[in-house]
Structure 1
Amino acid sequence: MLSHYDASNMAPLRRLIANGTELRPFSREIMEGGYRAAFSLYAEEAEKNPDFHKIYGEWLKFREDIVTWFRVAEARFESSLYALYKT
């Protein structure tokens, strides 16, 4: 489903750019605030919901492992690739 929306975003994005919209990434402050808010919510839900607690704990371990991999392999590759594209 996510790939469908990613692909569907291109036509509206091109229209925005064609009409002068300046695309900028969120600031680090905004991204970190969102991260903290999300993980606070997850922790709160894990305290109340035993099913979520189990899944969340397993997901955190998986996430730690996969982030290590993506930081070394995927992030460097994508960052280098994106730098080659001029928009």
Structure 2
Amino acid sequence: MTVEHPLADDYRQRVVEAVHEELARWGIDRFDVGAMAHRHGLDVDAIQRRWPDPEELILEALAHWPGADASPPDTGWLRT
């Protein structure tokens, strides 16, 4: 369960974007919160207070993946 430790919206967005970059570069298996924080100039303690479990951080970042809320294009009817 996520413990609510609010972060400023812009800082939360920076964290989510950093997670996106790290996942794209290293994948989930090699994702490391401390290394990510160091590479992106973020406070690891603030991140771990807000997301004590790295899986919760990854899940939140995936929920906000660019284009994740896009609808599929309307290509018309399948039958002609």
**Fold similarity call, TM over 0.5:** no
| TM band (smaller chain) | under 0.3
* Higher helix proportion: 1
Give the TM-score taking structure 1 as reference length.
Answer: 0.23
Work out which structure has the larger RCO, using CA pairs closer than 8 Å and 6 or more positions apart in sequence: 2
TM-score (norm 2): 0.24
Q: Pick the structure with greater CA Rg.
A: 1
